[in-house]
């Protein structure tokens, strides 16, 4: 498979890790977050900070990269917990504005501080494996296997987390936080934990993004990307682990189809018509509206229906 398509698959897997974190916050805990790309960016810029301080080819970055990925996740968890503190008092629209404010603060910090190269790309060298330094041909394939392992481990951890007392607290707080408080749960701390855990997975996704692209730039962590992540969670299915896998695959596949359509149409229409720029937001918004209207439970509900049908086949009762 060519590097072009391997990069697409890597992007889908990175988004899956990020959406697992967003689903914990928005799907399982019922908290609106419009700044998820900022948490992903924190993970990426954690790796970039070491690159700026120690050099992009330092042994910590190239040999101890698993440790760097975990460290990026912990940084995401720390900032997630900090942002989650207002969630103890805020709800709904006010919480959404608070997370949006964090996205704006992150954008300003990255774009204006010289340490982060004012939003310009910070290079990161290729990593080492047991066989030596990765070559250009093996780069995306290597990270495909790493990402696959991370996605499986993340899904396994979250699946089992939902079966614990904390998982039941998330569902209770989402459904009725006052009732959860009356049952002896602590809704405020549960919300902070949800943001912290969601930030951890986002930070891991950001570090993986930095290593896959061998660089970090602000253009990958804007408000547009936060809305894209939210759309992936909605299309996949909020509050379902399967939705964290279906959503990124569907949205990224849609983007590829729009780009292909625009490329073919560009051969017929005038050259100054940038159809890809126009069609992406249109198709993107249309898909979200259609899912909210006709299938609010997302693609995961289709999967549930198909699985139920196959379990009952050939007998319906």
Residue 79, pLDDT > 90, answer yes
Q: What is the mean pLDDT of residues 275-299?
A: 81
Q: Binning pLDDT at 50, 70 and 90, where does residue 133 land?
A: low
185 φ, ψ to 5°?
A: -85, 165
Which of helix, strand or coil describes residue 18?
Answer: helix
Asked if residue 265 lies in contact with residue 209, where contact means CB atoms within 8 angstroms, the answer is no
Q: Is the pTM of this model over 0.85?
A: yes
Asked if residue 75 lies in contact with residue 46, where contact means CB atoms within 8 angstroms, the answer is yes
Q: Give the lowest-confidence range in 8-17, 155-164, 234-243, 281-290.
A: 281-290
Q: Give the lowest-confidence range in 17-21, 139-143, 156-160, 263-267.
A: 263-267
The DSSP result for 134-188, as a single string, is PPTTTHHHHHHHHHHHHHHHHHHHHHHHTTSHHHHHHHHHHH-HHHHHHTT--HH
Q: What is the pLDDT, as a whole number, of residue 284? A: 80
What span, in angstroms and rounded, lies between the C-alpha atoms of 113 and 118? 5
209 φ, ψ to 5°?
A: -60, -45
Residue 154, pLDDT > 90, answer yes
The Cα-based distances of 152 to 131, 230, 293, 301, 305 in angstroms read 24, 21, 31, 21, 23
Q: Binning pLDDT at 50, 70 and 90, where does residue 45 land?
A: very high
What span, in angstroms and rounded, lies between the C-alpha atoms of 179 and 173? 8
What span, in angstroms and rounded, lies between the C-alpha atoms of 303 and 35? 29
Asked if residue 190 lies in contact with residue 170, where contact means CB atoms within 8 angstroms, the answer is yes
């Amino acid at each position: 498979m060519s590097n072009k398509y391997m990069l697409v698959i890597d992007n889908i897997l990175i988004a899956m890790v990020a959406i697992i974190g967003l689903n914990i916050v928005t799907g399982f805990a019922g908290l609106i977050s419009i700044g998820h790309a900022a948490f992903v960016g924190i993970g990426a810029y954690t790796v970039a900070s070491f690159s700026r301080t120690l050099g992009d080819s330092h042994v910590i970055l190239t040999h101890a990269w698993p440790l760097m990925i975990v460290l990026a996740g912990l940084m995401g968890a720390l900032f997630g917990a900090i942002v989650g503190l207002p969630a103890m008092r805020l709800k709904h629209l006010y919480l959404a504005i608070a997370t949006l404010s964090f996205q704006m603060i992150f954008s300003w910090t990255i774009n204006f501080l010289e340490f982060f190269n004012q939003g310009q790309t910070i290079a990161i060298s290729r990593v080492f494996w047991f066989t030596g330094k990765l070559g250009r041909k093996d780069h995306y394939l290597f990270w495909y296997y790493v990402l696959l392992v991370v996605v499986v481990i993340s899904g396994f951890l979250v699946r089992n987390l939902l079966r614990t007392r904390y998982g039941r607290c998330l569902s209770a707080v989402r459904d009725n936080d006052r009732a959860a408080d009356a049952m002896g749960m602590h809704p405020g701390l549960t919300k902070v934990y949800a943001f912290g855990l969601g930030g951890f997975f986002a930070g891991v996704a950001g570090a993986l993004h930095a290593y896959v692209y061998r660089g970090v730039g602000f253009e990958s962590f804007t408000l547009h990307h936060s809305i894209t992540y939210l759309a992936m969670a909605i299309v996949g299915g909020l509050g379902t682990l399967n939705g964290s896998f279906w959503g990124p695959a569907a949205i990224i596949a849609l983007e590829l189809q729009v780009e292909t359509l625009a490329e073919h149409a560009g051969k017929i229409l005038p050259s100054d018509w940038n159809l890809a720029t126009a069609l992406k937001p249109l198709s993107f918004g249309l898909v979200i509206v259609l899912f909210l209207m006709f299938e609010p439970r997302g693609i995961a509900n289709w999967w549930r229906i198909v699985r139920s049908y196959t379990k009952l086949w050939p007998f319906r009762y």
